[in-house]
Structure 1
Amino acid sequence: KQAIIEKIAQVSSENINSHKGWQNKIKEVEALREEFFKAGKVPIKVNEATWAKFKDVVRSFNRKKNQFYKDLKKEQYINLQKKEELVKIAEENKDNDDFEATTPLMKKIQSDWKQIGHVPRKDSDKIWKQFKKACNHYFDRLKDQRNAATAEEEQAFKEKEALLAQVKELKLSGEQKEDLATIKEQINKWKNIGRVPRNKRHIEGDFNSTLDGLFKNLDLNKSEAEMIKFENKLQDLSSTDNQRVIDNERFYIQKKVDEIKGEINQLENNLQFFTNVKSDNPLVKEVHKNIKKHKEELALWKTKLKKIKSLY
């Protein structure tokens, strides 16, 4: 019996912090209690002390068990309050039409829900159904919205395919002003059609390549042609709901500006090696030519940077 008492004391001293763990230990102590009663009598002189010690270790175990479940119940009510807050957020936003801002919020509260522990059993099913219903309502609407957008984008792709075919067959008159107006008209038509599916955006590149050919025939200034195409691209960027795409384009342009500045600095530094060389020296003339070319490119990229910054 002393050995059994020691085993119960050992169980009671263990740090148990889960419902499953306590259920296992309750069964273990119950088995030890039965074993204690089946162990038979002990000498009369130690009987009372043995019984008192047994009651103490069992009582100690029960106190610890009861405290755990008391704390667990308190924690579950705190968890219930947390989940009720998430239900409130879900229900307040389930009909929100600002999908770009609301979708990350709805995903976050779903993640937060998973991090919250158990709630009282009597409330568990009810509150889960409330939360699930609100979330499902929102994400069903999001799916419908995306499906509708996809249908519109597919239609836009078909229209752009048809327009691209027309532009490829476009015959210019030879009058620059008139032809430029014609090209800009086609660009405006292209803009007004709208966005195409992400996996079919190669058509934008096809359109720009076709424009390159038209501008070449038009003998248009390269910078002017580039800006006309870039403004068409900006129109597409401004209609996107993905800010990252705009940020990436801005980063790319800023990088080009910095690279060209660096190249100009390097070329100007190279001129220092020709301080005693005549200005009509072929190498010197080539460096000056490159500097001029890079400065023209820099002006173009700076203009693009200014344009894209206007989207912010």
Structure 2
Amino acid sequence: MQLRQLDLNLLKAFDALMDERNVTRAAERLAVTQPAVSATLNRLREALGDPLFVRTQRGITPTERALALSAPIKRILADIEAVLQPQAFDPGTAKFTVTVSATDYALRAVVMPFIAELRPLAPNVRVAVIQAHGPELLDRMERGELDLALITPQMAPPDVHVRPLFDERYVCVLREGHPAAAQDALTLDTFCELDHGIVSLQGGGFSGPTDDALARLGLQRQVKVSVPSFGMLLDLVRSTNLAALVPERLLVGVTGLTVRVPPLDVAGFTKVLAWHARTHADLRQRWVRDLLIRTCSLPTPQSGI
């Protein structure tokens, strides 16, 4: 295709077909008829000398040529959209939706403080929180369904922008009045004798990094409860004699718990913010990212240990 043949509508149609893999859905997304999309696809095929998409039972499948063009065309469209945006951004009057992928931990430790900072500054900006994992994370970013992801560095897909937010450490929590809470410091023997609860994101697991650390010392703790969320775990610890190791930032604003330093070294983790090149230059998204990053850099109350 030569530059004089370039039509922005061709690129938009190609991008929609790549994302949707279905002519009907692509037409709905572009607000045009299905025959119009089919005609545009024929123009693309003629200009590029490649079928680009072949029909299957589930819709259409891109050819190798289409797959190679997908990322560059998406970047071109994002750059054009950024150029056409107003050079001034007013959060007070802005109206748009930002979609964030977050685990239960990130929701409580990052998203909730971020929304508290966001609301007075940009009251008409909506926040949608979803969960996306693995290949789905990059796919949804490419399709425009996801703007930001709060993940660990190991989870970051290739070819995305990543900004470290903070390093997290684990602390041990007990309910106020727990017999072991009378000790200023937990011994390793006492720690292993306690009944513990843990979070298992996959569901049903009764071991984690703490148990790996104990095993290296030839020790074992008593894990009696496995739950899918930190919110549930904190509620259980507050109302029972269970102990738990939890990320320290979860305890901001939480009452009814006694916090102790774990009697062994348990590796913490780093939380990062990830976003796609599609939104990198977008003024609105840049403002949201900067606010989220600033929120994470604000001093947090200490857990009391």
TM-score category, normalised to shorter length: under 0.3
User: Relative to total residues, which structure has the larger helix share, 1 or 2?
Assistant: 1
Structure having greater relative contact order (Cα 8 Å, sep ≥ 6): 2
TM-score of the aligned structures, taking structure 1 as reference length:
0.19
TM-score by length of 2: 0.19
